[in-house]
Amino acid sequence: MKMFSFSNEPLDTATLQRELRDDRCGGFAAFEGWVRNHNEGHAVTRLEYEAFAELAEKEGARIVQAATEKFGVQRAACVHRIGSLAIGEVAVWVGVSAAHRDEAFRACRFIIDEVKHRVPIWKKEHYVNGDSGWVNCERCAAPSEHEHEHHHHGNADIPAPDYSRQIALREVGVAGQARLRAASVLVVGAGGLGVPVLQYLAGAGVGRLGIVDGDRLEPSNLHRQTWYALADCGREKAALAAGRVRALNPEVRVDAQALRIDAGNAERLVQGYDLVLDCSDNFSTKFLLNDVALRTGKPVLFASVYQYEGQLQLVSGQAGSPCLRCVWPEATRDGLVGNCAEAGVLGPVPGVFGSLQALEALKYLLGLPGLAANEMLIFDLVTLSTQRLRARRAPDCVAHQRTGAPVVAAGDEDLESQFGSLAEAAAAGFTLVDVRDSQERLTEPMAVASIHLPMSKLLAQAASLDPGTRYLLVCATGRRSGAAADLLRSQGFHDCRSLRGGLKGLKSIA
Ligand SMILES: [Zn+2]
């Protein structure tokens, strides 16, 4: 008896079982897969199986051979039906004879799981309404609205996706894999961040991925967007990324939109997704997605990269949780966000943050602990220092005010100090630290001597500060300096404070 074979005829399981009889064996385990009358909400009338027989038989035999060695069983075989099957027929049969029951059960389970994953067999379902569809292949074959060029028809040379290496994790398992398959994620931006994000989410088997990107690939993108090729330059990234996702994992449904997200289409685009990932490189998109999150309650996971550092922040969209504008009210050009085209970047930097973003997204979908909705992760890839900051729900946040959400009081009163003037603060023994960027300092100079340490340099240059000194951090509104003071305190600068209301607050007092 062949270890793995196909049959055009109904299976005679009694005969198959007899062929595996062995006097050395005390146990026999069998599995039968039957044709059932429904699948994914459709009433099924009959099935057709097709296989690329030569390749499938080789792969099937390898699996059965591996099972006999791995579990030390005496004899094992698997037979799969091809052709047309009626409801109730046996579609696949696995039998294992072993000295004891335990290895027989385990080898049997191993064989059917591996056959499901690895053997190229296609199933066509015929439905009550007269329709029919290729299962496992149909998902990938259905072209999206805007992407027709990679119409995939299920080439039998291509093996099926195999998630066994992540299913093996206790935190994932078969149930977690099903959750990922049922999940949908919209990825805004298919560039430096979006490439690793899409690669890992597609690889993990997230059921549906949306891609929004209005740009075309340029040669200068490739040092960080290494999924693409020089020959692809000039083509729309949305279409390129969709093709790459399909090649990586045909089970993933892709909806690619070659357009720029804007106020007119944002709410429509995020509709129907469980989670949105901001992989854009510009402020307008980030703040737009932030405001959509607050309006719709749709969670958005932001990643931003500036030269050698970047940050992650999850905006839950819930009224009491902080948002991007709570932390970065001025939509500054400085801070930890910037544009790769202007500031320059080493390719792996967005690669690291895109990977982290993908990881956080998977953890979010799997319900694992991760980045909370009230914190930011800041990672400096020069010094390799990471910080988790508390993000504060700012009482005067314009985005929150627009939603009419109730204000939740920000805690930690002693982190901020109020003064009538900068001179007063200096007289009280504070050394002033200006965390604004150079442009802001030129436009509005400080009236009193100060150290200049812009937000973007804070992590790298904090070592130049003295933990014993009383620092008062100053910015335009007190928001950035508040986050900076929080950060410095976590690094041991216990006497460091932020000027409440910033320079703007001083003016309103004067
Ligand atoms: Zn806010």
pLDDT at 476 over 50: yes
Q: Considering only CA atoms, which of 119, 2, 3 is closest in space to residue 52?
A: 119
Distance 289 CA to ligand 1 centre (A): 12
> How remote is the CA of residue 129 from the centroid of ligand 1, in Å?
50
Q: What is the mean pLDDT of residues 423-431?
A: 88
What is the 325 CA–ligand 1 centroid distance (Å)?
5
pLDDT at 406: 52
Ligand 1: centre distance to CA 311 (Å): 17
Choose between 252 and 158: higher pLDDT. 252
Sheet holding 208-212, edge to edge: 253-257, 208-212, 184-188, 275-278, 300-306, 309-315, 375-380, 385-390
What separation in Å is there between the alpha carbon of 322 and the centre of ligand 1?
A: 5
- The alpha carbons of the chain give a radius of gyration, in whole angstroms, of 29
Q: Cα of 269 to ligand 1 centre, how many Å?
A: 22
500 CA from centroid of ligand 1 (Å): 17
Distance 275 CA to ligand 1 centre (A): 19
Name the pLDDT band for 133 (thresholds 50, 70, 90).
low
Inter-residue contact 470 to 462 (CB < 8 Å) = no
- C-alpha 267 – ligand 1 centre gap (Å): 18
Residue 190 Cα to ligand 1 midpoint, Å, equals: 26
9: CA distance to ligand 1 center in Å?
Answer: 66
* Mean pLDDT, the chain, whole residue set: 86
Q: How much is the pLDDT for 331?
A: 58
Check whether 349 has a pLDDT greater than 80.
yes
Whether the pLDDT of residue 417 is over 90: the answer is no
- pLDDT tens digits, 388-411: 888 888 888 888 888 765 544 444
For residue 397, how far is its CA from the centre of ligand 1 (angstroms)?
5
Instruction: List CB contacts of 198: < 8 A, sequence separation 6 or more.
Output: 187, 190, 209, 211, 227, 241, 244, 245
Give residue 312 CA to ligand 1 midpoint distance, Å: 16
Q: Is the per-residue pLDDT at 235 higher than 80?
A: yes
Tell me the three state secondary structure of residue 120.
coil
Q: Determine the distance separating the centroid of ligand 1 and the alpha carbon of 19, expressed in angstroms.
A: 70
Task: Using the predicted structure, report yes or no on whether residue 329 has a pLDDT greater than 80.
Answer: no
Token digits for 2? 């062949």
Residue 58 CA to ligand 1 center (angstroms) comes to: 59
Contacts of 245 (CB under 8 A, 6+ apart): 198, 202, 209, 211, 252, 254
pTM value is 0.56
Q: How confident is the model at residue 479 (pLDDT cuts 50, 70, 90)?
A: confident
Ion ligand 1, residue ranges at CB < 5 A: 323, 325-326, 397, 399-400
How far, in Å, is the centroid of ligand 1 from the Cα of 497?
Answer: 22
Which H/E stretch holds residue 304? strand 300-306
| Section 46-67 average pLDDT | 86
- Closest among 208, 207, 39 to 132, alpha carbons compared: 39
278-290 pLDDT tens trace = 999 988 899 999 9
Whole-number Å distance, alpha carbon 290 to ligand 1 midpoint, is 9
Q: Using the mean position of ligand 1's atoms as its centre, give its distance from the Cα of residue 283 in Å.
A: 15
* Cα 394 to averaged position of ligand 1 atoms, centre (Å): 6
Q: Calculate the alpha carbon distances from 377 to 98, 320, 386, 491 in Å.
A: 53, 19, 7, 14
